Amino acid sequence: MSVASFSVTPIAGALGAEIDGVDLTTPLDHATVAAIREAWLEHLVIFFRDQDLSLAQFLAFARCFGEPIEYPFVKGLPEQPEIIPVLKLPHEAVNFGGIWHSDTAYLEMPPMASMLVAREVPPAGGDTEFANMYLAYETLSDRMKHIVDGLVGINSSAAADTSRTREDRVKDSGRADARKEYVAHHPIVRVHPETGRRALYANVAHTVGIEGMTQDESRAMLTWLFRHQVRPEFTCRFRWRPGSIAFWDNRCAQHNAINDYAGHRRLMHRITLAGDRPKGV
């Protein structure tokens, strides 16, 4: 495949781009992988359409960019444990991941990236939103940047709203070795290890407090940050079709799976890629 054979088209002003002209069922050469990674770093989340990937092909694509890791709470597929099903059944009321978050920020070394491929989608609804955490930081006033630059967030897997979004899958495919709670302390302003840019790294699903602050002080600061992070001008929205793929950077983007398709089934397959320990300013 020639690198020149694919196009990159932004889908919103803040982040997100569709890549067209790449067949992910075939092995990618080094130049193409490097060009895709460059587009990913620039746009934070990239999308591919009409990719009828087998599980092995999906895993091979992911390995071009990092090391697939298993999810701590839900078992992966028997034939490919690094791939987990993200499923909502017609009778279920709550969807997996239906809250703004960066994946598993409660781990000491949260994943660098995540990928989803759509297998079954509802006739309408089930879109995913993404938000640019570079912009969320860069649009703060200088005074607010000075305040947040040194803060450390306390992240927990046991936040009530987050637990609810995975409880159906934990019931039917939970991991026996999962801890009751994972907790990690990370800087609220994270320096991206590849781009060097600063991004807000706190999210409403996992960040439950701030080191050195009272509960009331933490709540006030975090409530404001959570609202600021997802202003419409920082976001994009992606509509799925079977065979669509999203590949996003957890270090500088958040996402939210919209739960607006009651009575319908939605099935995605997800891979997360190993990351490093977040570093602050």
Catalytic choice (190, 251, 266, 270) = 270
Of 55, 179, 73, which Cα lies nearest the Cα of 117? 55
Gap between the Cα atoms of 207 and 100, Å rounded: 11
d(CA 52, CA 54): 7
pTM as predicted: 0.92
Nearest C-alpha neighbor of 77 from the set 60, 56, 106, 96: 56
Helix, strand, coil percentages in the chain from 3-state DSSP, rounded to 5: 25, 30, 45
Torsion, Cα of 138, 141, 142, 143 (10° steps)? -140
Residues recorded for the chain: 281
Beta-strand pair 45-48/17-20: parallel
Active-site pick, 101, 186, 206, 251: 101
Active-site annotation holds for 255:
yes
Integer Cα distance of 25 and 55 in angstroms: 10
The span from the CA of 175 to the CA of 277, in Å, is 24
Predicted confidence pLDDT, tens digits, the chain (281 residues): 445 589 999 999 999 999 999 999 999 999 999 999 999 999 999 999 999 999 999 999 999 999 999 887 778 899 999 999 999 999 998 898 899 999 999 999 999 999 999 999 999 999 999 999 999 999 999 999 999 999 999 999 987 555 555 555 455 565 556 667 899 999 999 999 999 999 999 999 999 999 999 999 999 999 999 999 999 999 999 999 999 999 999 999 999 999 999 999 999 999 999 999 999 99
How does pLDDT run across 105-132, given as a tens digit for each residue?
999 999 999 999 999 999 999 999 999 9
> Cα–Cα distance between 269 and 281 in angstroms, integer?
35
Selecting among 186, 190, 255, 269, the annotated active-site residue is: 255
Neighbouring C-alpha atoms within 13 Å toward the C-beta of 274: 8
Three-state secondary-structure class, residue 265: coil
User: Which of 3.30.70.270, 3.30.365.10, 1.10.10.10, 3.60.130.10 is the CATH number of 3-273?
Assistant: 3.60.130.10
The pair of three-digit structure tokens given for residue 239, joined into one six-digit string:
């509509």
| 91 given a catalytic annotation | no
Residue type present at position 199: A
Question: Which helix (H) or strand (E) segment is 167 a member of?
Answer: helix 160-173
Annotated active-site residue 103? The verdict is yes
Does 101 participate in catalysis according to the annotation?
A: yes
Express each pLDDT in 217-258 by its tens digit.
Answer: 999 999 999 999 999 999 999 999 999 999 999 999 999 999
